[in-house]
Amino acid sequence: MAINNDNGVDQHTVLPAYHVPLPSTESKSQENKVVEDDTVDVVYKEQEQSESDGREPGRLENKAADVKGKIEQFLSWRYMRAPVLIFTACLIFGWWIAGLFTMRHRWIVQTVWAWFLIGVIFFRFVPSSKFGRPLGKVWARYVSSNFFKIPRPARLTLGWLCVLGIIFGGAFGFPENEQSDYRDRVVSIFGIFVFQVCLFISSKHHRAIQWHIICIGLFFQQAIGMFVFKTSAGYDLFNWIITLAKDFLEKSQPAAAFFLSDEIVDQNFFLLTTLPAVMFFIAFVQLCYFLGVIQWFLKKFAWFFQRVFTISGCEAISVTATPFVGQAESACLIKPYVKDMTSAELHALLTAGFSTVSGSTMLSYIKLGVDKVHIVTSAIMSIPSAISISNMRMPEVETPLFANTVVVDRGDAEYKEQGNWILAFSNGAKLGIYVAGLILTNILCVLALLYAFDGFLTWIGRSFSIHDPTPLTLELILKYVFYPISWLMGTPSADVLKTANLLGTKVISNEFVAYQQYKDMQDPSSPSYDPFTKRGSTITEFALCSFGNVASVGIQIGVISALAPSKKKDVSRLVISALFCGIISTCQTAAIAGFLS
C-alpha cells in the first residue's frame, strides 16, 4: 500500500478526492502547476470546499452572475407576459379582420370567438373590478334599487305580462303560412298553459314555487326559439358550438377503431360509440379540473345564473352543458360537488338530462334525415325549459351549499395530489371505465325488465283477444296515453296518432329508434310510408329530440351513483319524476316550435 509520507494519507482508501498540484516554494504562480511525479497529494473534498469558501469571488464572477440574473429575469414570464399577450391579441384581431372578408358565412362565430379571447387577454392586465364596480354601482342605483321598490306582486305581474307579450307576439306577430295558421297556433299556446297547470298540480311544495324562475324560464325559452328560428345568426352560433362539441367527442371513435376496426365502429353500436365517448370525456374533465379550467367556468356560470335565475352554480353549469356534452358527461362536470347537492338541484340535473340530447348523438339523427335546425333549436330551448319545469315540480326547500357562493376551489387538493396532468388524465380514464360499466349494466337490466313486463302484458292481452298484429304492450298503451299530449302540442289532426305512436316508441325504446321509424314513414320506397304534413313533421322532430326514455333512467342512476354513492337513494327516488318533467319539457318546446314555424 502506497502512502504519501508528507501528508500520511492512504491513496487507495481515501475517496472521493481531488488531485491537486504539489506545493512549490519557487513562486506563488507555480502553486497551481501539476507536478509530474510518481506520487501526488490528495485532499478531502470537504477540505477543499472549506478552503474555497473563504475566498471572495472576483469582479468578473460577480459581473457574470449579475448578467445571468438579469437575463433570467428578463426571460421570466413576469417580464415576457405583456409582450407575448399583446402580440397574441394582435394576431387574434388580425385573424378576425381577415375572416370578415374570407369567411363571410362564419363571421358571427368568428367574431364571438375572437372578441372573447381578446377580452380574456385584456382582463389579464386590467382587473374586471375596474369596470364591474362602476357598472354595478350604476345598475344598483338607477335600475335595481328602483325595480325592487316595486311590490313583489307587481313585479311578478309585470314579468308575466312580458312572457305573454313575447308568446302572443311570436304566435301572431308573424303572418300565416301554409303549414301554420292562427288557429293551429292557438292550440299550441293552450297546450303550454295545460302543461304548466299540470306541473303546478303535481308540485311537491306549492308554496315554495319561485314564480320568477318560471317566468324567466318561459321568457328565455321563447326568446331563444325566436332568435334561432327567425334569424340565421342565432342558428349559426349555436350550430357551431354543438358541432365543436360533437367533433371533439367523436375523436374517441378512431381510438375505438384501433382495438377493433373502422367497419365495426361505423355500425354505430351503443357499446362502441357512446361509451368510448363517455370514458374519453370523463378523463378530459378530470384533466380540466386539475388545470383549474372547470372551476373558472363554474364561477362564471354561477355569476350569471345566480343573478338571472337565482339558482346555484353547480345546477347552472350542469344544466347548460347537457345539450353540448350529454346527460352523463354533464354530471361529470361537477363531480366534486354532486354529493353536496340538494334534492331540488339533483332533480334539475336529472330533468336536464331527460330534456335534451347531446352533440355527439345529433349527427346520427341528422344522417337519418332530421332537420339540422330543428335538432339544434330544440337542444338549446330545452335549457331554460328544464330549469323552470323542474322548479315547478320540485321547488327548493333546502339551503343549497352553492346558492350564494360557489366554492370553486373545492376538490382542488384532491386533484393537485395527483402529481401532474398525465396522472390526472390517467385517473380520469379509470373513473371513465367505472362509469361506463355502470351505464352499460343499468341499461341492460332496465331494458330486460321492460321486455319481461311487455311479455306479461302480451300474455294478459291474449286473454282479452288482443293479439297479433298489434299485441298488448307498454308501447301500445303509451301510444294512446300520448294522444292528448300530441294534440296539445298543436299537431295537425292527420298526424296526431302517428306523433303519439312515435312518442311512445321513444319513451319505451329510445329516440334513435323513433327517428328511424319516422324516417321510414317519410321514405316513399319504404313499406311504412305514411308522410307527415310539414307542420306535423316540425313538431314531431322537436318532440322526439330528447333522452326522455326508460333506458336513460339506467344511465342517470349509474352515473350519479358512481359520482356520489351517498346519493343513490335520492336519485332512485327522483328519477321517475325527472323523466316525467323531461318529457313535458320537450313537448313544451315542440309546442313553441309549433307556433313559431
Tens-digit pLDDT profile for the chain (597 aa)?
444 444 444 444 444 443 444 444 444 444 444 444 444 444 444 444 444 444 555 677 677 777 667 666 655 556 677 777 788 888 888 888 887 777 655 666 677 778 888 887 787 777 766 777 788 788 888 888 888 888 988 988 998 999 999 988 888 888 877 777 888 889 999 999 999 999 999 998 888 898 989 999 899 888 888 888 778 777 777 777 767 777 777 788 888 888 877 777 777 676 777 778 778 877 887 788 777 777 677 667 667 777 788 787 778 878 877 877 677 777 877 777 888 888 888 999 899 889 988 765 676 677 677 887 788 888 888 888 999 999 999 998 887 776 655 444 444 445 455 567 788 888 888 878 877 787 777 778 877 887 888 888 888 888 887 777 778 888 788 888 899 999 999 898 889 999 998 998 888 878 878 888 888 888 888 888 888 888 899 999 999 988 888 888 888 888 888 888 888 888 889 999 999 999 999 999 999 988 887
**Quick check: is 194 in a domain?**
yes
In terms of phi and psi (left: phi > 0; alpha: psi -120 to 50; beta: otherwise), the region of 150 is: beta
* Same domain for 311 and 258: yes
Q: Which domain holds residue 341?
A: 153-597
> Are 357 and 471 found together in one domain?
yes
Q: Domain total for the chain? A: 3
Cα 271 to Cα 413: distance, rounded to the nearest angstrom: 34
473: in domain: yes
Q: Of 92, 113, 141, which residue constitutes the final position of a domain?
A: 141
**Same domain? 354 vs 494:** yes
My answer on whether 229 and 98 are in the same domain is no
Q: Are 353 and 559 in contact (CB under 8 A)?
A: no
Q: Which uninterrupted H or E stretch holds 388?
A: helix 372-393
Angle between helices 107-125 and 77-102 (to 10 degrees): 160
Q: Is residue 361 part of a domain?
A: yes
- Do 339 and 432 lie in one domain? The reply is yes
Q: Does 370 map to a domain?
A: yes
Say whether both 164 and 30 belong to one domain.
no
Decide if 64 is inside a domain: no
* Contact predicate 425/358, CB 8 Å: no
Instruction: Indicate whether 137 and 160 sit together in one domain.
Output: no
Give the DSSP per-residue string, 37-103: SS---EEEHHHHHHHHHTSPP-HHHHHHHHHHHHHHHHHSHHHHHHHHHHHHHHHHHHHHHHHHHH-
The continuous run of DSSP H or E covering 556 comes out as helix 550-563
Rounded to the nearest 5°, which phi and psi values hold at 226? Answer: -70, -40
* Domain boundary residue, one of 78, 112, 141: 141
Q: Are residues 356 and 218 in the same domain?
A: yes
Domain co-membership, 477 together with 555: yes
Q: Which of 400, 432, 246, 469 has its CA nearest to residue 335? A: 432
Are 93 and 178 within one domain? no
Interatomic CA distance for residues 587 and 597, integer angstroms: 15
Domain co-membership, 313 together with 405: yes
Residue 61 lies in a domain: no
Of 455, 452, 540, 456, nearest to 502 by C-alpha is 540
Residues 238 and 101 in one domain: no
3-class SS letters over 125-193 = HCCCHHHHHHHHHHHHHHHHHHHHCCCHHHHHHHHHHHHHHHHHHHHHCCCCECCECHHHHHHHHHHHH
CA–CA distances in Å: residue 454 to residues 471, 476, 509, 577: 9, 10, 12, 22
How many Cβ atoms from other residues are within 10 Å of residue 471's Cβ? 16
Closest CA to 424 of 519, 520, 286: 286
Give the chain's length.
597
The verdict on residue 63 lying in a domain is no
Residue 131 within a domain: yes
Query: How far is the C-alpha of 22 from the C-alpha of 42, rounded, in Å?
Result: 9
Q: How far is CA 416 from CA 217, 375, 424, 431, in A?
A: 38, 39, 9, 17
